Chains A and B, each alone.
Chain A
Amino acid sequence: MDEIIKEFLTESLEGLDQLDTKFVALEQNPNDRDTLASIFRTVHTIKGTCGFLGFGHLEKLTHAGENLLSLLRDGKLSFNQDMASALLAMLDAVRTMLTEVERTEGDGEESYAGLIETLHLLKEVGVAKSAPPVTPFLLAPAPPLEPEPVVPPAATNLSSDPAPEPFLTTLTALPESAPQPEPATKSTVSREPAPTPPERPAAPPASSPAGSPAIAESSIRVDVPLLDKLMNLVGELVLARNQILEYTLLQENPPLQAASQRLNLITSELQEGIMRTRMQPINNIWAKFPRVVRDLAVSCGKQVRVDMEGKETELDKSLIEAMKDPLTHLVRNAVDHGVELPASRRSAGKPEEGCLLMRAYHEGGQVHIEISDDGAGINPVKLRNKALEKGLITPERAAAMSDQDLRRLIFLAGFSTAEKITNISGRGVGMDVVKTNIEKIGGVIDLESELGRGSTFKIRIPLTLAIVPALIITSGGERFAIPQVNLLELIRINEEQRGAAIEYVHSNPVYRLRGKLLPIVHINRELELTPGRSNAVNIVVLQAGQHQFGLVVDQINDTQEIVVKPLDKVLQDVPVFAGATIMGDGRVALILDVLGVAQQARILNDSHDHNVAAQQHEARDRAGERQTLLLVRSPGNGRLAIPLAPVSRLEEFPSDQVESAGEVDVIQYRGQILPLVRLQDILSERRTLDRLAHDEAEVSASNLLQVIVFGDGIRRVGLAVDEIIDIVQDIFEIKGRSTRNGVAGTLVIQGRVTELFDVQGFLRQVAPLLTLAEEA
């Protein structure tokens, strides 16, 4: 059964159960508005959802009930016995219909016209004048209760297991990649004369005419945090199990070993079960995309078809949730910016209808998701110009970037190429947010694009954030875990053969594996470990993306189930580790990230990733990081902010210590000569005459000089300012442009307009002075 229908049923049945109680309460206390309002809400929700799902009869009936309830809620009518009976009759009818929905995915043929009429009548008159219209309908629900011979759409389903099975079968029975979901079709299908039922005589509805239908009994709602907790506990249990297994191996104690074997099996099964509770097909988020795309395409005047592959691909619930927004954004982007208008498609020789392909599959212990369009593709030149215009990259760097690097610029913070802000994209949620969100769950995103042919966004996310089988190796005296999904085979070369086994292509070691050259990576070398002693050569053959390589390790231990624990942020910059785990002896072991190791060893030829990542870090530092600024009074009594990072010290000198060397003011400072530059000489003049006089007076009055020392120890320069006002730390955003030399822009700090000192410009300007200090 369709997930959405299943959810609707669970929700509605829950609501109905509460309604029974509420109606009874209402009869005791007919004027309780709160109860009425809550009944109204429940009925309203059911009505809304079944309207959406295309259950026409159900919608009409609940609509009639809702109308009556709304008048009651607003106090326009007063509640009475007749109404209670009619509404309760409606509840029963709804329940019957829901049973029908569960069984056939249609809401049955009974339209309950009479009951609807009564509800209308009650609404019109306030009181149904006579009993007759009401009573018949109390009996009305009877007919549909007969096990009606209706076939579920998934007619292939011969299983007699009523509860979980339909869910699975109908998933596959969903119309393959329907471009536009037409909820109406479902109800029309079920209204057709039904053929004979499959071998399923035990009709669930008949067995539970009064209680809730089977679906409510076979599934319960569980808080995700509870599942998270169970998952964590299972993780701990696996670790404890590993410890016990390790311990019992050393004991000559058969009963203990038997018990620990059982513990082993049970733990594994429990672990698998808990993991399955959290797995969901990706279709749960994909299902809404055909509709999203259709609406979007219509509003842009485009034609877009959605193709989906692998919607049954399962991944962890929390990952599904986390992927929802990034995927929506990517899909919207593809339609809005990727696919062209029909006219330009035609002139480019493409079919008018664009195609959006969504693929999902498991590979290498990860879930791969691809969103491709056959649109215009991403123009690297356009991106470069945009980035330059926004000052996100320097011209030198732009010149050195490949087209692929340029395309990856769209992941930079503060980048949006939409020329005008449409109501679809360009609402401030950029690709950088998509990237950040994906990285947050340990995933990566990349793109491929060809001008005129379209773009593909490739996302890889971990299958689950939990427990993986791994090979444990020892190198440099430390143990490391290698996820088994990356593992191809193990090779052991004896001492006698070791000399000839590893050969060199130029200076790169290789091993002949069944006639093919396998690049060899020494873990000790890559991780800067001190090699342990081992007589044989142990090679772990690994798969990293498209590449294979052999990792030489000191020792191969065994395989274990390990619980992946994330590393702290500080260590996430170290690309070779995917996490850490706790071993049987209670010690921590690092988990190798095979792709990271391959990159470290330059097996993969895309060091671009690192470049782009580094650039993004820089950009983020600039855009969003907290900055510490020094506030000083600038000549002319303004405020000037100086970034504190390049400042090495703040000093105070009596002004009579200032000496001069040629044309330069200097001061003796820590056994060196510190060239001194006055702030007013750096900033272009903007002083009015009266201020000038005022300033002169003030400077001579104070005989202490505030000096900001820039530099790295050997080469220093001092900037003399009149007064240091404050040090502030915050995320600052440049609001205005530079108005004069020496100023990088203006911002608002502490509610006052403040100029931002152009430190780079200043250091360039005083560079000749720095050499002077060095020579001295």
Chain B
Amino acid sequence: MADLRRQFCTFFLDDRFFGVDVEKVQEVIRYQIITPVPLAPPVVRGLINLRGQIVTAIDLRRLLQVEDTLADRLPINIVFQTWQGIFSLLVDRIGDVLEVDQSCFEHPPDTLEGIARELIQGAYKLQGRLLLLLNVEKLFSPAILNRQRRTASH
């Protein structure tokens, strides 16, 4: 392999530690006013204005089916440029950009279920904690975002 170390933009949901390929991230911005979209899938928190561009904000908690926080802290926007378009991912806290050795990667355990199994590509075994790698392209695919709507409406 050409480069064994990859850089990840890391962030948190509670104490869950996630990472995405740093090159997919356009920018990280503080909380923006979100305009909710009625009737939209629940993972879509709404729309934000990013310098004149309208960006769909996706709630990672709802996507991974982690219970909502009591809103004492405003979420952070991580803005992604993907093949699907431009998206903002709402997370609790932003972490550092980490350079991680590819050798400490492991595929997710078989016990990982449902949508998380599709979105979490695997874990990097870091000192003291696991960095969960998210599949960015899949994260924002209409199939994934709309799936939540179906399960939610039942």
Contact = CB atoms under 8 A, between A and B. Distances in A.
Interface of A: 236, 239, 476, 478, 527-529, 565, 567-571, 573-574, 576-577, 580, 582, 586-590, 600, 625, 648-652
Contacts of B35: 478, 580, 587-590
20 contacts: A476-B38, A528-B38, A528-B39, A567-B37, A569-B84, A570-B44, A570-B56, A570-B145, A571-B37, A571-B40, A574-B38, A576-B39, A577-B37, A580-B54, A586-B49, A587-B33, A588-B46, A588-B54, A648-B114, A649-B110
B85 interface: yes
B146 interface: yes
Interface string B43-61: 0101111001110100000
Contacts of A565: 53-54
B122 interface: no
Given A582-B54, A649-B110, A650-B110, A570 B39 contact: no
Q: Is the interface of B mostly helix, strand, loop or mixed?
A: mixed
Interface centre among A239, A528, A588, A625 (most CB of B within 10 A): A588
Interface in B13-57: 33, 35-41, 44, 46-49, 52-54, 56
A588 B35 CA distance: 6
A571 B84 contact: no
A704 to B, nearest CB: 13
Given A568-B56, A570-B40, A587-B35, 7 more contacts: A528-B39, A567-B54, A569-B142, A570-B145, A576-B39, A586-B49, A588-B35
B110 A570 contact: no
Nearest to A579: B54
Nearest to B87: A568
Contact of A582 (B41, B44, B52, B145): B52
A236 B145 CA distance: 30
Nearest to A523: B38
A476 B35 CA distance: 12
Nearest to B41: A570
Contacts of B44: 570-571
B113 interface: yes
A580 B36 contact: no
Given A478-B35, A569-B142, A588 B85 contact: no
A239 B48 contact: no
Contacts of A576: 38-39
A529 B38 contact: yes
B146 to A, nearest CB: 7
Contact of A570 (B33, B38, B54, B146): B146
Query: 6 closest Cβ contacts across the A-B interface?
Result: A527-B38, A588-B35, A568-B56, A588-B47, A570-B145, A565-B54
B35 to A, nearest CB: 4
B121 to A, nearest CB: 13
A651 B111 CA distance: 9
Contacts of A571: 37, 40, 44, 56
Interface string B122-154: 000000000000000000101101100000000
Given A565-B54, A590-B37, A650-B110, A573 B49 contact: no
A587 B37 contact: no
Contact of B146 (A573, A582, A600): A573
A650 B108 CA distance: 12
A565 B37 CA distance: 14
A582 B49 contact: yes
Contacts of B33: 587
Contacts of B143: 625
A234 to B, nearest CB: 13
B84 A236 contact: no
A648 B110 CA distance: 11
Contacts of B37: 567, 571, 574, 577, 590
Contact of B49 (A478, A569, A588): A588
A648 B37 CA distance: 31
A715 to B, nearest CB: 15
A648 B113 CA distance: 7
A289 B142 CA distance: 38
Contacts of A589: 35
A587 B49 contact: yes
A63 B44 CA distance: 65
Given A478-B36, A571-B40, A588-B35, A651 B49 contact: no
Contacts of B49: 582, 586-588
A236 B35 CA distance: 20
Contacts of A573: 146
A577 B52 CA distance: 19
A478 B33 CA distance: 12
Nearest to B114: A648
Contacts of B53: 565
A600 B145 CA distance: 22
Contacts of A587: 33, 35, 49
Nearest to A621: B143
A315 B53 CA distance: 25
Contacts of A568: 56, 84-85, 87
Contacts of B145: 570
